[in-house]
Structure 1
Amino acid sequence: MAQTEINDISVDSSLVDPEKDLLGHANFAKYLADSICKMPFPEGFVIAVYGSWNSGKSTLLNFVVHYIQQKPDEEQPIIVPFNPWLLSGHENITRRFFEQLQNVLSQESSVPKGLKERLADFAAIISDIPLPYAQTGKALAALLDEKDKEAAQLKEEVEDTLIQQQRRIVITIDDIDRLAAEDIKQLFRIFKAMRNFTNVVYLIVFDKEEIVRKTIADTKEISGKTYLEKFIQVSFELPIPDKTSLRRLLFAKLDKIFAETPKQKFNQSRWGDIYFQGIDHFIINIRNIVRFVNTLTVTYPAVKDEVNPVDYIAIESLRVFSPNIYSIIHKNPHIFAGEVNPSIDELNTLLNTWLAQLPDEDKQPIKNLLMYLFPKLKFILGNTYLDEKQKLEWREQLRVCSLEIFPIYFRLSLSADELSNIQRKTILGLVGDEDKFRNHLIELAKQKLPDGTTQARVFIEQLENSTVQEIPVNYIPSVVEALFDVSEQLSLCQNDESNGILDFGDEVIISRFILRLLHQLDETSRFELLKKAITQGKALAIINHEIATLKKQQSQYGVDKFNLEEEWLVNAQHLKELEEMTTKTQVKSEKKDK
């Protein structure tokens, strides 16, 4: 096995050299290797080391092999490495196991002649006996009984041959927890078949819970512990690395990723604050380090000369450990960077609403990261002084809080065409305050997407396509008024030449949404709400569209023909009044323009 360097793309790559040990596994591996070599000649002894995914099991196994190979020749066992996962689903694992055993033993001069042939015969019989026996018919069961007898005879011959040679055989097996259930059972059958072979030791590493889940999911009569004890003589639990070891491992990996970044770009004081008050909270196991480092390995090289490395590490930590917050930042550059716009109170409400969606234990670390990354938020959440004169300095330092630099940090992020559920709920949380809701719609209208549309259009279309029940009935009037009030400012791609002739204009999108909302109210409330909007006269295009829609509705479903007046948005008399009011408002507006 080639030595794996620490700058490999994945932390999942196991180490080989104990001198590179960063998790404290080397000492345990050394003593385990000594025990395997010095223990009395056993009869088919199985040693298991349990550990979760990415806990360092493979590294530990490699370390044990390393220390065994450092023994003097007369003390050194024959090592037979076997990784069944590489064969799963392709070939019979039992047959391949014996082939690997034969290949290794045949290269050892100390192994008695004829052992290879006997192992081949034994393997052929074991491979042909299916699992489970209980599901076979009587005729096949009788045949299998004969094969069992033949296997027992061959097993004695193999045993007699093994006794003639003095060197211990150590079979190392990794990745069995990645196998399918039937493949695992095949492997355990090998342990059972060779359990009494003198001087053969198995060293296997796996995730105990995963093995138990796969192998006894359909067996309620036996516990996981009892099941494993049938095959394993002694087991060890791989300890979870302590915080210091995890931090050492992470920093070693980060050093390789940022090796070509000039040291002067790293503000050590700021890095210490961001790491210990934010990122360190999430570095709780090797799995998290794997996800984090792999992400940075892919994303950083493309922007390494254009971003602040400390800020980039922090932003990517949010991508990995708090994707919802990362998405919110990505979709709201004007909220997090640039001027303090919208109002401080609105920002405070938005931030607290977003943070409230997080698990309690994550709230403070993420809040800390946001304040260190975005001075505007530190000003709001931390009650600190916001020095606007520092903007040029932030730009020069390539900080994410610079609105000009901000997009570079999200080059490898998917399009933000749709708002997340959390963000939509956050916006809907403002409907109780008409001014805040109106201002936020205006803010969304400033956020252009690659196709020229805006986040405001995305928000309205998502709501129109979902359910209006998300908006409480008592808040519908304020939402409708806000939509009428700001519709002209929203400019929902009405003048965008990139839109095809079949695309809907802003008045269609807003009008449809308003109609759906109004249908939740009684007829009188609808009339009064439309009457107020027309009187204010701030969205004549939308108002004209609404009136045209209502007229078309009543002409299409006349009372005389279908008696569907109850389905109209407003009755005939109210529609007449609204139409007259619209005409007066439009005339007044035209005179004002002149």
Structure 2
Amino acid sequence: MGDTAQDGSGFSREHPIEHAKDDAFNRQAYVSKLLNALWRSDDINGLVVGISGPWGSGKTSLKTMLVEEINTARETSQSFRVVEFEPWMYSRSGKLVSLLFDEVAYDLSPTGGKSRHLKERTGQFANTVLPALSDAASAANVVVPRVGTVSSSLIKAFSGLAKATDPTNDDIDSLAWRREKLKRKLDKSPDRIIVFIDDLDRLMDDEVVEMLRAVKAVGDLPHMTYVLLYDRDSITRSLDATCHGKGDEYLEKIIQVPLDLPEPPQDAVSERLKAEVVAPVGLASKKIYMEGYDRFVELNSFGYCVKPYVSTMRDVIRLSNEFKLRYKVMKDDVEVDDLLSITSLEVFRPSLHRWIMEHKALLCSPVTGRTSYSGQHKGEEQWAQSLTTELKNLPKDSDREALESLFPFAGAALAGNWSNANTCYDDPWRSICRTEHFDAYFRFSTDRDVLHEAEFKQFLLVDDLLDPGFPRDDQLKIFGDKYFPGKAASYLNGSDTERIQKVILGCLKCDQMISEVLRGCISINVATTILNRNNGSRLHTDVLKTIVGAIAQSDSIAAVPTALALAVQMQKELHDSGTAEAPVLLP
């Protein structure tokens, strides 16, 4: 939904569209249907619409299209007033709720709109512009550009509500009185007000809760519609931190009309990626020759290493910028298509990227000539068998397909035709599968002993830690990393207790498979680090009970003696906190 632009260095940056005509994903029909639904759903008690989409999916561009269509629909039977509020610009101001209603008053005023000074954006707005505006609006009605007339008393009422919700105001009665006064004015007003609140997920956890409470409790006013745009996963994690792990339930109570932003067509995203990186540099043609075929067969590394992982414009920008940096430095030492493919794996599939770095000796084919081999080299047969075993142990079929597209010998070995495989490339021959060129592709890569952030996130938030096949070797490596306990505390802070329980169970299982010297120590470290991160929050006791419950379910107390120490430590803390209903592990 968004657009991309390049700065002077040639790198891309995310850039939402400025006009509906710039939409490249054919979402005008979606916008029209959504607006038609809004026009027909005038709830006298107010309405809250939530539009959810991951970062980079084009929520801001969608909002631009909605606002533009509202402002051009002059013939509608209803009169709409549009307000756009960007709360993250005021993050940590301590006045988010007050500034929200300031924004409503300002955007309804004759001078409302986008042309405002920096001081209006930094909290001085309510103290300078609005008082002057109220003094100037002496007429019964004032003309608002592009949308008709609006009562000055309504503007003043919103300004008054902003003052009443200011944190420095201790007069609760004033808030209730001003809100009731505003409700009466809105009941009599022919106008409907639509407030767009974008980038809600950029706020701090407590600010997310503050904004949602304001919309539901204070801003629940007649003929007002709030359209909130956010990443649902991010918002839910923020709410979990203050709602006892029940962020989803809380959000459902606030949002009356939940909508998911439609994903952009994959073809459109791929075309944009090609425009960013493929077309400008061109792609070499890699082929594999198999005996018995009368032609060379194209291997599409783009289709296996790039296209499956790029689904949003943010993905396009991440990959294109990483690739352009490498290409500027390495273009004389590598093949372009291989460089794009291996860069994509580093960005989106870091564990596979590391696996490739660690298996150079197996992946780089010993078959280098154009004529077929009869299989006379016994060492090559053993090589192929070892590689086949390693490939079959990979967790995903897509990983094997990616490797086959980059390393023809791997594909031939899996197919059982390794002795007949023979690769050839257009000049110059600098493919990643050639031993002498392999290392050039990893010149900018993270050290193979340093885990990628995405790997911690995958383990802690996504992986099925109760799967019978858990843990794999790559998961054990993540578990044993010295930064793992801290990452667990960061990613699980405010997370639902069910996920925390699964992580603790997974940790105890991993502990059974590592060296006896360390056995159990990592689980203890993870549990205490998670608890310390939640210390002082309302979730602390819930997390504590969750950890004790996980130990009670686990069979690790006998297999991992230090799990007993963890149980003792956790149960003592529960006892000290006065919690009696936790699982009893020890007599």
TM-score of the pair, normalised by structure 2: 0.57
Give the alignment of 1:277-356 within 5 angstroms. 277=304, 279-282=306-309, 292-304=319-331, 306-331=333-358, 333-337=360-364, 339=366, 343-356=379-392
Please name the residue that 2:408 is paired with: 375
Counterpart Cα distance in 2 of 1:112 and 1:47: 26
Query: In the alignment, what sits opposite 1:558?
Result: none
Q: Is the 8 A contact 2:366 2:380 kept in 1?
A: no
Shift of 1:37: 4.0
- Kindly provide the amino acid, as one letter, of the partner of residue 34 in structure 1: N
For each residue in 1:301-335, what CA deviation from the matched residue of structure 2 results, as whole angstroms up to 9, or x when unmatched? 43345532322222223223432332243355454
Per-residue CA deviation, residues 348-400 of structure 1 (Å, 9 max, x unaligned), is 354245435532xx2x3322332332233344333446689866x45515422
**Structure 1 residues not aligned, in runs of 5+:** 131-143, 427-465, 471-594
- C-alpha distance in structure 2 between counterparts of 1:16 and 1:397, whole Å: 45
Residue of 238, 252, 257 corresponding to 2:272: 252
Residue 170 of structure 1 corresponds to which residue in structure 2? 194
Q: How many residues align?
A: 406
One-letter amino acid matched to 1:188: L
Paired amino acid for 1:127:
D
Q: Which residue does the alignment assign to 1:134?
A: none
Work out the CA distance in 2 between the residues paired with 1:73 and 1:267: 58
CA distance in 1, matches of 2:451, 2:309: 26
| Whole-angstrom CA distance in 1 between matches of 2:153 and 2:378 | 84
* Alignment partner of 1:410 is 2:442: yes
Counterpart Cα distance in 2 of 1:348 and 1:180 = 53
Distance of 1:27 and 1:332 partners within structure 2? 50
Structure with max Cα Rg: 1
SS in 2 for 1:358: coil
Are 1:48 and 1:234, in contact at CA under 8 Å, matched by a contact in 2? yes
1:87 aligns to 2:120 (yes or no) = no
| In 1, Cα distance between equivalents of 2:217 and 2:348 | 46
Displacement of 1:202 after TM fit? 1.0
Asked if 2 retains the 8 angstrom alpha-carbon contact of 1:7 and 1:253, the reply is no
The one-letter amino acid paired with 2:102 is E
* 8 A Cα contact 1:44 1:194, kept in partner: no
Amino acid in structure 2 at the alignment position of 1:261: V
Q: Return 279-288 or 184-193, whichever deviates more.
A: 279-288
Q: 1:204 Cα shift? A: 0.8
- Summarize the alignment of residues 122-201 of structure 1 with structure 2, pairs less than 5 Å apart: 122-128=161-167, 147-162=171-186, 166-201=190-225
* In the alignment, structure 1 residue 119 sits paired with structure 2 residue 158: yes
**Cα drift, residue 156 of structure 1:** 3.3
Q: Return the offset for 1:16.
A: 4.7
Query: Which residue of 2 is the match for residue 214 of structure 1?
Result: 238
CA distance in 1, matches of 2:433, 2:64: 45
Matching residue's letter, 1:128: P
Aligned: 1:235 with 2:258: yes
The residue type equivalent to 2:428 in the other structure is E
Q: Cα–Cα, structure 1 residues 122 and 91, in superposed 2: closer, same or farther, change >3 Å?
A: same
SS in 2 for 1:343: helix
The question of whether the paired residues in 2 share the 8 Å contact of 1:16 and 1:66 is answered with no
Distance in 2 (CA, whole Å) between partners of 1:271 and 1:87 is: 54
State the Cα deviation string for residues 68-121 of structure 1 (Å, max 9, x = none).
Answer: 233227766332111212322244211222232232222262232244443333
Amino acid at match of 1:178: R
1:358 matched to 2:388: no
What per-residue deviation string (whole Å, max 9, x for no partner) do you get for residues 484-519 of structure 1? xxxxxxxxxxxxxxxxxxxxxxxxxxxxxxxxxxxx
Distance 1:36 1:257 in 2: 40
Q: 2:228 aligns with which of 204, 223, 245?
A: 204
Separation in structure 2 between the aligned mates of residue 225 and residue 419 of structure 1, nearest angstrom = 31
Tell me, yes or no, if the aligned pair for 1:395 and 1:402 is still in contact at 8 Å: no
Q: Distance in 2 between matches of 1:210 and 1:44?
A: 25
Q: Determine the structure 2 residue equivalent to 1:484.
A: none
Q: In 1, are the aligned partners of 2:161 and 2:179 still within 8 Å (CA)?
A: yes
Once the two structures are TM-superposed, the CA of residue 172 in structure 1 deviates from its matched residue by 0.5
Contact in 1 for aligned 2:387/2:413 (Cα 8 Å)? no
Q: Secondary structure at the match of 2:160?
A: helix
1:515-526 pair list within 5 angstroms: none
Q: Secondary structure at the match of 1:155?
A: helix
The residue that corresponds to 1:33 in the other structure is 35
- List per-residue Cα deviations over 1:457-502 (Å, max 9, x = no partner): xxxxxxxxx97999xxxxxxxxxxxxxxxxxxxxxxxxxxxxxxxx
Match for 2:250: what amino acid?
Y
**Structure 2: which amino acid aligns with 1:319?**
E
| Residue 102, structure 1, aligned to residue 105, structure 2 | yes
Letter in 2 for 1:314: S
| Partners of 2:277 and 2:263 in 1: CA distance | 25
User: In structure 1, how many angstroms separate the alpha carbons of the residues matched to 2:150 and 2:346?
Assistant: 55
Shift, 1:166, TM fit: 3.9
Deviation at residue 174 of structure 1 after TM alignment: 1.6
Shift of 1:255: 1.8
2:50 is matched with which residue? 48
Candidates 49, 57, 69, aligned match of 1:67: 69
Partners in 1 of 2:194 and 2:168 — Cα distance? 25
For the residues of structure 2 that align with 1:225 and 1:338, how far apart are their CA atoms?
A: 51
Distance 1:467 1:76 in 2: 71
CA contact (8 A) 1:37 1:76 kept: no
Higher helix share: 1
Cα distance in structure 2, aligned partners of 1:172 and 1:271 = 49
Whole-Å separation in 1 of the counterparts to 2:246 and 2:416: 57
Let me know the Cα RMSD of the aligned residues: 4.4
Q: Which residue identity does 1:258 align to in structure 2?
A: V
Q: 1:301 to 1:169 in 2, by over 3 A?
A: farther
CA contact (8 A) 1:43 1:195 kept: no
- One-letter amino acid of the structure 1 residue matched with residue 403 of structure 2: L
Give the AA of the match of 2:4: E
Checking the alignment, whether the CA contact within 8 Å between 2:282 and 2:336 is kept in structure 1 is: no
Asked if 2 retains the 8 angstrom alpha-carbon contact of 1:180 and 1:214, the reply is yes
Amino acid across the alignment from 2:82:
I
Residues in 1 aligned to 2:429 and 2:21: alpha-carbon distance in whole angstroms: 38
Higher percent of residues as strand: 2
Amino acid at match of 2:73: K
Q: How far is the alpha carbon of 1:187 from its aligned partner?
A: 1.0
Tell me: CA distance 1:61–1:343, structure 2 relative to 1, closer, same or farther (3 Å).
farther
Does structure 1 conserve the Cα–Cα contact (< 8 Å) formed by 2:269 and 2:310?
no
Extract unaligned runs of 5+ from structure 2. 113-142, 144-148, 288-295, 368-376, 453-471, 478-513, 519-587
SS in structure 1 at match of 2:330: coil
Give the conservation status (yes or no) of the 8 Å contact 1:344–1:380: no
* CA distance 1:405–1:416, change in 2 (3 Å): same
Distance 2:194 2:175 in 1: 23
Cα offset for 1:126? 1.6
Is the 2:362–2:387 contact (alpha carbons within 8 Å) kept by the matching residues of 1? no
